[in-house]
Structure 1
Amino acid sequence: MIIISLLLLGSLLPHLSFTASVKVGIVNGDKLWPSHSRPYMVSVQKKGKHVCSGFLISDQFAMTAAHCKTKGKLTVVAGTDNLIRRKEHVRIRVMSYYKHKPDLMVLELNERVKLNKKIKTIPIPTGQEKIKVGTMCSVAGWGELTHYGPIRLNLQEANVMIMSDEVCQRQWGKKYNASQMMCVYGEGSSCPGDTGSPLVCGNTAVSVSYFSSENNCNDPNQYNVYLKMSAFLPWIRKMTSNSN
């Protein structure tokens, strides 16, 4: 079945060079093993409930999606990959919110988080390096299994493959802006609750989850779109320079 799926995908994307087998998206992802293997991940919460995923870029700043901030204050929970194991949660209030179109947000934390083996930051790009088509990267999040379904209590992770801008443009049309976006393939996709999570290539958070299928986030035929961190570096640097 896996071989047949890859052959079908290959017939649709004749110019794509595969470097490894395709693994499914977060919807069908695997629970993290070993525990705490993504110590940069944070749960963005409102009134103690998970609303989005996010990640630490320093000991005082986290990144997520702008739409995660509605009325009311947010907190981030670090130091855990399980949403109900509260004894290991490190909860930090958000002091300031910096939004950027189309859907990026830098969260300035009320205090500097103490970094340790369970809480770490992840590097972001330093320039405009282009990631090669066919590169295998990874995603993680606590998102829903389906639209309006329950969130996952354990952080899930999966591998995805970088697609070409031409392929992404054909599928998403005017919604896709190659200068700001990139898209990935996996037999599944990011669902509500996963938004704000990073696409990690190597050891770098290269982009932030943006959108997938509008009506079915579990659609294996739709590519997930991410916002390139490199396209917003001047703004990110300006926002994070506000640190005390």
Structure 2
Amino acid sequence: MLRLHQTEPTLFCTMPLIPLLLLSSLLPYQGHSASVSVGIINGTVVRPHSRPYMVSLQNQGTHICGGFLVSARFVMTAAHCLRGKPILTAVLGAHDLSNSKHSITMEVEEYHPHQDFSEDTLDFDIMLLKLHGTVKASKTVNWIFIPKNKEDIPNNSVCSVAGWGRTESSKNGEHLLEAQTIIQDRSSCNNAWKKVHPVSITSRMMCAVHPGGSCKGDSGGPLVCHNIAVGIVSFGDGQQCNSPRAPNVYAKISAFLPWIHSIVNGA
């Protein structure tokens, strides 16, 4: 069963992370592009294992995307992380990716990208991964709450993101970083994106802006508000990490609750 938040969700969020899976040429327009999200900008190193739900999705030992545990068998991430059809393994309980002392590596048994996901629009950018085995909750590995209903997160809520992606234009980070970000209303987000790129911010998306933000390396990680995973890092401005021109965009988890339950409860 999913671990659900049982009270009124008060949300605080995290800026999107752009993983190694960079859709650098997505929707080219007037020299600009939208990129799938990457790493943490203006972030700090996380207290070790304070985010036990975080997952590093890897291909042959290389970090590809972020993800997060939502039950003892399932990891949630972005559908675009399956671009190129990599064979993924899930590294749980990690803080420093160069040190496997406290981490657990598990194979992925089933891939469940949303059937309506579009690489052109990045709408429906959500995927569930069924692990080959059951996770035992501990101090270093545990799952996170997701919303109980479709209630929206209030605008200007302060939330957070975390990931192992790039901190600017440098290589991917080894230590898990976190940063704060602020929820922006969808109308303002859509207007900002129209000036940069012909992408529509749908009801299945949500946006967040400074101070923290994303860069290449961690699409698929959670946008977290008051210990609830409310969004999935999806895409941002391809010209600049944590760009002031356009907010980072996340898949809105509450928009997919029936789909999520059908997969997790049907396992």
What TM-score do you get using the length of structure 2 for normalisation?
A: 0.77
Letter of the aligned partner of 1:163 in structure 2?
Answer: Q
Matched residue, 2:189: 168
Residue aligned with 1:166, SS:
helix
Mapping for residues 144-163 of structure 1, pairs under 5 Å: 144-146=166-168, 149-163=170-184
Structure 2 distance, partners of 1:191, 1:231, is 25
Matched residue, 1:39: 52
Q: Is the 8 A contact 2:56 2:66 kept in 1?
A: yes
Within the alignment, does 1:128 sit opposite 2:142 as a pair? no
Greater strand content: 2
Letter of the aligned partner of 1:71 in structure 2?
Answer: K
Q: Is the 8 A contact 1:55 1:121 kept in 2?
A: yes
Matched residue, 1:17: none
Mapping for residues 90-239 of structure 1, pairs under 5 Å: 90-100=104-114, 101=117, 102=123, 103-146=125-168, 149-173=170-194, 175-239=199-263
Larger radius of gyration: 1
Letter of the aligned partner of 2:264 in structure 1?
Answer: T
Structure 2 distance, partners of 1:186, 1:225, is 12
Matched residue, 1:76: 90
> Identity over aligned residues, as a percent?
42
TM-aligned CA deviation for residue 86 of structure 1: 1.3
What TM-score do you get using the length of structure 1 for normalisation?
A: 0.84
**Which of 58, 64, 68 pairs up with 2:71?**
58
TM-aligned CA deviation for residue 188 of structure 1: 4.9
Deviation by residue 1:55-114 (Cα, 9 ceiling, x = unmatched): 000010001111212334111001121101112220000000001113211000000112
Residue aligned with 1:234, SS:
helix
TM-aligned CA deviation for residue 143 of structure 1: 0.8
TM-aligned CA deviation for residue 169 of structure 1: 1.2
Provide structure 1 residue ranges, at least 5 long, that are not aligned to the other structure.
1-19
Runs of 4+ deviating beyond 4 Å: none
- Aligned CA distance change for structure 1 residues 182 and 72 (closer, same or farther; 3 Å): closer
Structure 2 distance, partners of 1:54, 1:113, is 15
Structure 1 distance, partners of 2:200, 2:213, is 17
Residue aligned with 2:208, SS:
strand
Matched residue, 1:10: none
